Amino acid sequence: MNTIHNPREEYGKQLLTMCHANKNIVVLDADLCKSTMTCKVEEELPEQYFEMGIGEQNMMSVAAGLSLTGKIPFVNSFAIFLTSRAFDQIRQAICNASLNVRIIGSSSGLSDFGDGSSHQTVEDMAIMRALPNMTVIAPCDGIETRKATQAMVDYKGPVYMRTSRNDMQDLTTEESPFEIGEVYPLIKGTDITVFACGIMVSKAVEASKVLAKEGISVAVVNVPTIKPMKRDKIIALSRETSAVVTAEEHNIFGGLGAAIAEALREEKIQIGFVGIKDTFGVSSNEAEPLLEYYGITVEAIIAKVKAIINLK
């Protein structure tokens, strides 16, 4: 059964539920609440919602101040405006002091297909991952987005989660476990292991099914937490097949692929990257053609898997 959820809607619903349950949660937004879906909190619990206007830098430091008074701030805008424009504020006051600020980057990756490069993030995971104390999450579907949102309430230290604007096919169920920092093998395989995050997990699963028909056994691992990464587990899963491909809707530099390669730095394992090849985004009137344009597709994963297996 194929079911679909929209991650930003799931996030908004979960956030509202949490705000009802925990009065220490506060929500900040910079004039995009109907896009980030924090509007539900503004409508029902206005005392826990703070409109910050179009000023992301101030918003980020305000979140630091709220955290310093014991609140759990969820900071919202498009991923690009939070991670790039307010980078210094995240670094200086939040990560330096390891504050419990939750930064939710909406419309991340290429998911805001129409708005083009200025609104798309190819680098958010890379720059957030470089910050000491920061945790970086990229959920694979709407259900996991909801669970990750819940998991970060009591989590210690700053968290960045990138969320997708568009519907995502369910890969996990209500019963699937979720823990920040954990990795989840979805499909077993013996020839190669594909580590994927975000929208690329479902594409990896699809690629695995296609390749199975050709006699190639592909393991698929969902890596919702890019940092911290369980190195031992990544190594163990990689050794099972001795070949690795990573797949992400992000620059091939600095994101999931880089994190996996770093984890495997002492292993003799071939590794290939599927991702955006160090270039900025561009406008498209539809989501899928944009992913094809950048070569982050099921076909791209299949081709990379075959190329890496040939090197074994």
Residues annotated as catalytic (active site), given as ranges = 56
Residue 98 C-beta: closest distance to other proteins, Å: 7
For strand 72-78 and strand 184-187, is the pairing parallel, antiparallel, or unpaired? unpaired
Specify the residue, 61 or 238, whose C-beta has the smaller distance to other proteins: 61
Among 66, 127, 220, 309, binds other proteins (CB under 8 A): 66
Phi, psi of 220 (to 5 degrees): -120, 130
Per rule CB under 8 A, is residue 62 in the interface with other proteins? Answer: yes
Per rule CB under 8 A, is residue 270 in the interface with other proteins? Answer: no
Show the tokens assigned to 19: 């705000």
Report whether 104 contacts 57 (CB < 8 A). Answer: no
Among 3, 22, 44, 53, binds other proteins (CB under 8 A): 53
199 alpha-carbon distance from chain centroid: 9
Specify the residue, 50 or 293, whose C-beta has the smaller distance to other proteins: 50
Q: Which of residues 94-133 bind other proteins (CB under 8 A)?
A: 96-98
Specify the residue, 50 or 253, whose C-beta has the smaller distance to other proteins: 50
Peptide bond before 228: cis, by omega within 30 degrees of 0?
yes
Residue 79 C-beta: closest distance to other proteins, Å: 20
> Greatest CA separation found in the chain?
59
How many Cβ atoms sit within 10 Å of the Cβ of residue 296? 24
- C-alpha distances out from residue 164 to 105, 143, 169, Å: 9, 12, 12
Phi, psi of 270 (to 5 degrees): -70, 140
Residue 15 C-beta: closest distance to other proteins, Å: 17
SS3 83: helix
Residue 160 C-beta: closest distance to other proteins, Å: 18
Specify the residue, 66 or 219, whose C-beta has the smaller distance to other proteins: 66
Per rule CB under 8 A, is residue 52 in the interface with other proteins? Answer: yes
- Binders of other proteins: how many residues, by CB under 8 A? 29
Among 20, 43, 46, 88, binds other proteins (CB under 8 A): 88
Q: Quick one: residue 13, left, alpha or beta (phi over 0 = left, psi -120 to 50 = alpha)?
A: alpha
CA 56 to CA 78: how far, in whole Å? Answer: 10
CA 34 to CA 54: how far, in whole Å? Answer: 14
Specify the residue, 70 or 215, whose C-beta has the smaller distance to other proteins: 70
Residue 121 C-beta: closest distance to other proteins, Å: 22
Residue 50 C-beta: closest distance to other proteins, Å: 6
Per rule CB under 8 A, is residue 61 in the interface with other proteins? Answer: yes
Per rule CB under 8 A, is residue 46 in the interface with other proteins? Answer: no
Instruction: For residue 170, give the DSSP letter.
Output: -
Show the tokens assigned to 44: 């029902």
Which residues form the interface with other proteins (CB under 8 A)?
A: 26, 47, 50, 52-53, 55, 57-58, 60-71, 73, 88-89, 91-93, 96-98
